[in-house]
């Protein structure tokens, strides 16, 4: 077996920063839910399609400000 070395792949969270809505939609598809924060920022929520036990694990939250991604959070637990 050959050992693979090199740069680690960039995290999805970092690769989405500064993208606009159409670029995120192209990469991740349609969001499960769209919300507006009290600060007038838009949050797109992507949840896994089906689970036996409901929890937030695997859920991705993408925050937009002025049409650009400013924050991406992936729930690990």
Q: d(Cα 76, Cα 55) in Å, to the nearest integer?
A: 10
Q: What is the pLDDT of residues 20-70, one digit of tens each?
A: 999 999 999 999 999 999 999 999 999 987 777 777 888 999 999 999 999
| Of residues 40, 22, 41, the one with CA closest to residue 31 | 22
Rg (CA), the chain: 15
Domain with residues 12-74, CATH architecture: 2-Layer Sandwich (3.30)
Record the pTM.
0.75
**Token pair in block for residue 25:** 């939609």
DSSP-based three-state secondary structure for 24: helix
* Residue with the larger pLDDT of the pair 68 and 5: 68
Q: Where are the domains of the chain?
A: 12-74
| Of residues 52, 53, 65, the one with CA closest to residue 44 | 65
């Amino acid at each position: 077996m050959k050992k693979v070395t090199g740069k680690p792949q960039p995290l999805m969270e970092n690769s989405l920063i500064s993208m606009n809505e159409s670029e995120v939609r192209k990469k991740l598809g349609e969001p499960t839910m769209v919300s507006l924060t009290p600060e007038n920022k838009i949050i797109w929520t992507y949840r896994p399609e089906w689970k036996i036990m409901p929890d937030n694990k695997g859920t991705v939250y993408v925050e937009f400000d002025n049409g650009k991604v400013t924050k991406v959070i992936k729930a690990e637990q």
